[in-house]
Amino acid sequence: EYIANKFGKNHLPDSARIFKKKVKGAQEAHEAIRPTSVHREPAAMKSHLTPDQFKVYDLVWKRMVASQMAAALFDSTTVDILAASGKNKYLFRATSSTLAFPGFLALYSEGRDEEENGDRKSALPELAQGDALDLVKLFPEQHFTKPPPRYTEATLIKALEENGIGRPSTYAPILSTIQDREYVDKEKGQFKPKEMGFVVTDLMADHFPEIVDTGFTARMEEKLDEISTGEIEWVPALKAFYDVFAVEVDKAYTDMPKVKAAAEPTDEVCEKCGNPMVIKRGRYGRFLACSNFPACKNARPIRTEIDINCPKCGGKLVERRTNKRKRTFYGCSNYPDCDFATWEKPLSVPCPECGGLLIPKGEMAKCAKCKYQGSIEELKEKEKEPVPA
């Protein structure tokens, strides 16, 4: 009723649209987050929400309504152009599509990678069969076969779904784990495998071939589902897996070679002997060590500057970790001459009253210099506002 009144009856599908999971064996997510009423339009709710809350509500509301609207219709055109040069003949093909009926696009349109990269197909002019066309310009280009694109977060999750690996509640931990363990780096939104990732993959494939097989993971998820529905008993199911797995682990302990990750070169110089410093991995993570080890045993933690100045001495703030519990905190790079430190990462936006450092406290921010307190979301929104000329 809402769609018919707002957009017209032609924007209604023939019947209610009901969606089912696309991939066999894909795990179900939790119940969807949806507005309690279609009549609570984003514009009416804006005054009751923070800027970030409004953005999420606007997206969810539009997606919900669009999911029950008619499909968009496009007119597709394909033109074959025959060209000749002497005895040589060439066939060129051009394609184009134009929106004939907007359907759900009247309300909601997802961003697409190809559109963001400027690959939209431009509309073709009116043409008739037998028309003679003039060659205005020729662009000689050479193309090579490209490897498949690297995974992004979205395409990796899609691949997990298609292979029946994991479930919605485990997708986020999977993405964070492969980065935390330095199996991959994230560059421009794409995952790039690191040396550690190659080493672990090779070792796992050699010593646990059944475990790293995508079919095994999907079968295990199926077993877990059967246990949850009471179709099979959990003790025999887990015992059947563990009896084989325990033998493979024992065998790997004796057969798997110990591999040391190669040290990563850096531009830093050892302050004790003048040799280059390298990044090594230890029990508590990565650290800087002298490349002249064992002759020089100089080592120190990796300091990550956060491009914020210390409110006490003006030096750069760096990210550090405590020795025992390995808890992250932020301190002055001039330590021990300056003892400023805070558990929370300071905001990049300065205090609007005194220009001092703002420290997050929940959803609020407090100034380290004066008594100012303000909403973090409002401060970030103000930072985005254009500066008047």
Q: What is d(CA 320, CA 79) in angstroms, rounded to the nearest whole number?
A: 62
Three-point CA angle 223, 252, 238, nearest 5°: 20
**Tens-place pLDDT, residues 224-266:** 889 988 999 999 999 998 998 999 999 998 888 877 767 788 8
Please list the residues that pair with 316 across neighbouring strands: 309
**Do residue 168 and residue 246 come from a single domain?**
yes
Q: Which of 246, 279, 302 is the last residue of a domain?
A: 302
**Tens-place pLDDT, residues 171-198:** 999 999 998 888 998 888 899 998 888 8
Neighbour count for residue 290 (Cβ, 10 Å): 24
Does some domain include residue 288? yes
Going along the chain, which residue ranges are E strands?
73-85, 88-101, 184-187, 190-193, 264-269, 276-282, 285-290, 299-301, 304-309, 316-321, 328-332, 341-342, 358-361, 364-367, 373-375
The two beta strands, 316-321 and 304-309, are antiparallel
**Do residue 249 and residue 268 come from a single domain?**
no
Six token digits for residue 110: 């997802």
Q: Which of 219, 237, 255 is the last residue of a domain?
A: 255
Q: What total of structural domains would you count in the chain?
A: 3
Q: What's the pTM?
A: 0.49
358-361, strands of its sheet edge to edge: 358-361, 364-367, 373-375
Six token digits for residue 346: 């300071």
List the CATH number of the domain containing 43: 1.10.290.10
Neighbour count for residue 191 (Cβ, 10 Å): 20
Burial class of residue 130, CB neighbours in 10 A (0-12, 13-18, 19+): exposed
Could you tell me how far CA 359 lies from the centroid of its own chain? 27
- Whether the pLDDT of residue 114 is over 50: the answer is no
Q: Which of 66, 84, 100 is the last residue of a domain?
A: 66
Give residue for tokens 């179900």.
Answer: 28
**Do residue 212 and residue 274 come from a single domain?**
no
**Do residue 271 and residue 201 come from a single domain?**
no
**Do residue 248 and residue 286 come from a single domain?**
no
Do 271 and 289 touch, CB atoms closer than 8 A?
no
**Tens-place pLDDT, residues 133-175:** 888 888 888 888 888 899 999 999 999 888 888 878 889 999 9
Q: Is 20 helix (H, G, I), strand (E, B) or coil?
A: coil
Six token digits for residue 376: 């973090």
Confidence band for 283, pLDDT divided at 50, 70 and 90: low
Do 156 and 149 touch, CB atoms closer than 8 A?
no
Q: DSSP class of residue 39?
A: T
**Do residue 273 and residue 192 come from a single domain?**
no
Q: What is d(CA 171, CA 178) in angstroms, rounded to the nearest whole number?
A: 11
**Do residue 270 and residue 180 come from a single domain?**
no
**Do residue 158 and residue 238 come from a single domain?**
yes
**Do residue 219 and residue 278 come from a single domain?**
no
Does some domain include residue 363? no
Residue range 3-27: mean pLDDT, rounded: 77
List the CATH number of the domain containing 236: 1.10.460.10
Does some domain include residue 295? yes
Query: Phi and psi for 370 in degrees, rounded to 5?
Result: -110, -170
Give residue for tokens 């199926």.
Answer: 222
**Do residue 194 and residue 288 come from a single domain?**
no
**Tens-place pLDDT, residues 342-362:** 988 888 888 888 888 898 888
Domain that holds residue 290: 263-302
**Do residue 234 and residue 278 come from a single domain?**
no
Give the model's pLDDT for residue 70.
92
Do 126 and 96 touch, CB atoms closer than 8 A?
no
Confidence band for 115, pLDDT divided at 50, 70 and 90: very low
Burial class of residue 114, CB neighbours in 10 A (0-12, 13-18, 19+): exposed
Q: What is d(CA 169, CA 160) in angstroms, rounded to the nearest whole number?
A: 12
**Do residue 162 and residue 219 come from a single domain?**
yes
Q: Tell which wins on pLDDT, 299 or 195.
A: 299
Does some domain include residue 371? no
Six token digits for residue 356: 């001092």
